[in-house]
């Protein structure tokens, strides 16, 4: 019997070692212009618990759209967490948590997106996430096609 | 038989998996092979009626399929629906891989810019 993902698919976990100290990585995670640079879309952020982080796709590479996160945890240079909110009905979705640790080569960054198994049924989860994914695929395709 | 439209399936699957008892029912069906509500009742602290309801939700989500065997219906796992959930989550994981690769690139650029100064 193969292991079944009945409980398993609740979270996605990634870890990466980044050059530069945690303070600099923190800046990349929390300053709108830097966030925009790596998240792949225009970002705005109100950095405080209860504040919003908003990502906007301008429509040039796919459907125009917005993803909103409600910030839950702000521990400078250590931890940042937000929860995606569905648009436009504001239902809490998955939670994203970044953890930063000093490392010999710079910073160890861990990202965990969790809560997939308990997403409320009324959410059009697939549509919203896959649209985002297709947007990013479009961006990637454009990037690869560029001379 | 299930006739779940493919594009609707993941929503129904997530809805079905959101309930912990239902996840237990599904796990038992997966482990035992074709199983009836009566058999499941012996292993779960819930009523047969509740199990029948859970099986109906799992069936609508395309996670199990029922087949009549004499007096009872035996339910078996349909693993394809779970594959679809796994694929969907893998897609979101790939997006994080891409973002983190871009973040790494950004940090590299900033580090070399600092060193050049």
Q: Each residue of A125-138: pLDDT tens digit?
A: 444 444 443 444 44
Taking every pair of C-alpha atoms in chain B, what is the biggest distance, in angstroms? 81
Both tokens of residue B7?
């594009």
Q: A10, B96 in Cβ contact below 8 A?
A: no
Cα(B17)–Cα(B11) distance, integer angstroms: 10
Instruction: Please name the member of B15, B30, B108 whose beta carbon is closest to the beta carbon of A19.
Output: B108
Whether B84 has a pLDDT exceeding 60, the answer reads yes
- Counting residues of chain A whose pLDDT is more than 90, the rounded percentage is 48
The answer to whether the Cβ–Cβ distance between B7 and A120 falls below 8 Å is: no
Q: What is the pLDDT of residue A145?
A: 43
A141 chain-B contacts, CB cut-off 8 A:
none
Name the minimum distance, in Å, from the CA of A62 to any CA of chain B: 16
Burial B47-64 (b: 16+ CB within 10 A, else e): eeebbebbbebbbebbbb
Q: Hey, what domains does chain B have and what are their CATH numbers?
A: 9-116 (1.10.10.10)
Q: What is the mean pLDDT of the segment spanning A48-53? A: 97
Provide the 3-class DSSP secondary structure of residue A13.
Answer: strand
A16 chain-B contacts, CB cut-off 8 A:
100, 103-104
Cα-atom radius of gyration of chain B, to the nearest Å? 22
Cα(B114)–Cα(B109) distance, integer angstroms: 9
Residue of B nearest to A23 (CA): B107
Instruction: Please name the member of A106, A125, A136 whose beta carbon is closest to the beta carbon of B14.
Output: A125
Both tokens of residue A98?
């970044």
Q: What is the CATH number of domain A21-115+127-145?
A: 3.30.530.20
A79 in B contact zone (CB under 8 Å): no
The answer to whether the Cβ–Cβ distance between A25 and B107 falls below 8 Å is: yes
B32 in A contact zone (CB under 8 Å): no
A87 in B contact zone (CB under 8 Å): no
pTM for the predicted model, two decimal places: 0.66
- Distances, alpha carbon A44 to alpha carbons A30, A32, B14, B16, in Å: 9, 5, 30, 35
Both tokens of residue B85?
């959930």
Cα(A26)–Cα(B49) distance, integer angstroms: 53
ipTM of this predicted structure:
0.75
């Amino acid at each position: 019997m193969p292991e079944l993902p009945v409980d398993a698919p609740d979270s996605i976990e990634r870890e990466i070692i980044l050059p530069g100290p945690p303070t600099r990585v923190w800046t990349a995670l929390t300053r709108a212009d830097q966030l925009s640079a790596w998240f792949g879309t225009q970002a705005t952020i109100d950095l405080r618990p209860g504040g919003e982080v908003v990502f906007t796709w301008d429509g040039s590479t796919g459907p125009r759209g917005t993803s909103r996160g409600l910030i839950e945890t702000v521990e400078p240079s250590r931890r940042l967490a937000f929860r995606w909110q569905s648009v436009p009905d504001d239902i809490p979705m998955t939670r994203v948590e970044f953890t930063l640790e000093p490392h010999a080569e710079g910073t160890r960054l861990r990202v965990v997106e969790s809560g997939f198994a308990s997403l409320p049924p009324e959410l059009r989860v697939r549509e919203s996430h896959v649209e985002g994914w297709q947007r990013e695929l479009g961006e990637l395709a454009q990037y690869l096609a560029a001379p | 038989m299930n006739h779940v439209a493919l594009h609707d399936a993941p929503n129904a699957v997530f809805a079905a998996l959101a309930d912990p008892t239902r996840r237990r029912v599904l796990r038992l069906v997966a482990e035992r092979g074709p199983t009836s509500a009566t058999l499941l009742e012996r292993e779960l602290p819930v009523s047969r009626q509740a199990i029948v309801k859970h099986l109906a939700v799992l069936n609508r989500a395309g996670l199990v399929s029922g087949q009549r065997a004499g007096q009872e219906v035996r339910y078996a796992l349909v693993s394809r629906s779970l594959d679809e959930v796994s694929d969907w989550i893998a897609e979101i994981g790939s997006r994080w891989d891409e973002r983190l690769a871009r973040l790494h690139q950004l940090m590299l650029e900033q580090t070399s810019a600092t060193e050049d100064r």
